[in-house]
A = this chain, B = another copy of it.
Amino acid sequence: MNGDVKKILTAVKEGRLSVDEALLEIKEEPFADIGFAKVDLHRRVRQGTAEVIYGAGKTPEQIAAIARTMMQNGQQNILITRMSREAAEYVGRESALDYREEARVGMIGQGHPADGHGYVLVATGGTSDIPVAEEAALTAAFLGNEVKRLYDVGVAGLHRTLAHLDDIMNASVIITIAGMEGALASVIGGLADCPVIAVPTSVGYGASFNGLTALLSMLNSCASGVSVVNIDNGFGAGYLAGMINHIA
């Protein structure tokens, strides 16, 4: 904002702009200006790196149009989440799209090279949690993070978790993804020294209540350093993990 307002002020000082004209411009400016600076913030990741399109509820045509506009504005890395196969086929006709169906993630461009503090570990309790995990892992990787995957290490088979103690203890950030009782977050939170992002999944049946039980369980984790995102929100966890891994 400063730059633009400074120009307006200078113009006023130099008599090129009347006070009233300046007033009008300044009144219009700040939000639009901030707006422009921030318009992409909630869906874009650090200028020059990548932009994100949330594909849910958008038609293939809409997704393609948004991606086209972004590319025309010079963006080379675009991450599309919750993308249907139909949308992927449609977008793939006009752009080189790397589509991962399990995660419902589409990627245009190579993403940002990994340049964070360390690596992001993505761990799941079971195999059914993998789609959410892949959404998280692909997001983190695309946004410039080294990612390690540690799948199917549910607490009922503790040895499997413990067998990867090194990976757990050396991570910069860990994303734990689990449905049913969601105990993995507490177990890994107790073993690790780094921030743990817990993602409850809707995996389970009966009293899992579509992820509610895992969500509540994770919120009550007795391990410190654990925080929670929405049920099945792999993207949110991957994005946040990347943010943490790039803290300056």
Contact = CB atoms under 8 A, between A and B. Distances in A.
Contacts of A19: 6, 9-10, 13
Interface in A216-235: 216-233, 235
Given A156-B42, A182-B217, A194-B243, A207 B230 contact: yes
Interface of A: 1-2, 5-6, 9-10, 12-13, 15, 19-20, 22-23, 26-27, 30-32, 34-39, 41-43, 46, 52, 56-58, 117-118, 125-128, 154-160, 162-163, 165, 172-173, 180-183, 185-187, 189-191, 193-195, 197, 200, 202-233, 235-237, 239-240, 243-245, 247-248
Contacts of A194: 243, 247
Q: How many copies does the complex hold?
A: 8
Nearest to A191: B158
Nearest to A198: B227
Given A34-B162, A219-B215, A224-B43, A155 B27 contact: no
A222 B156 contact: yes
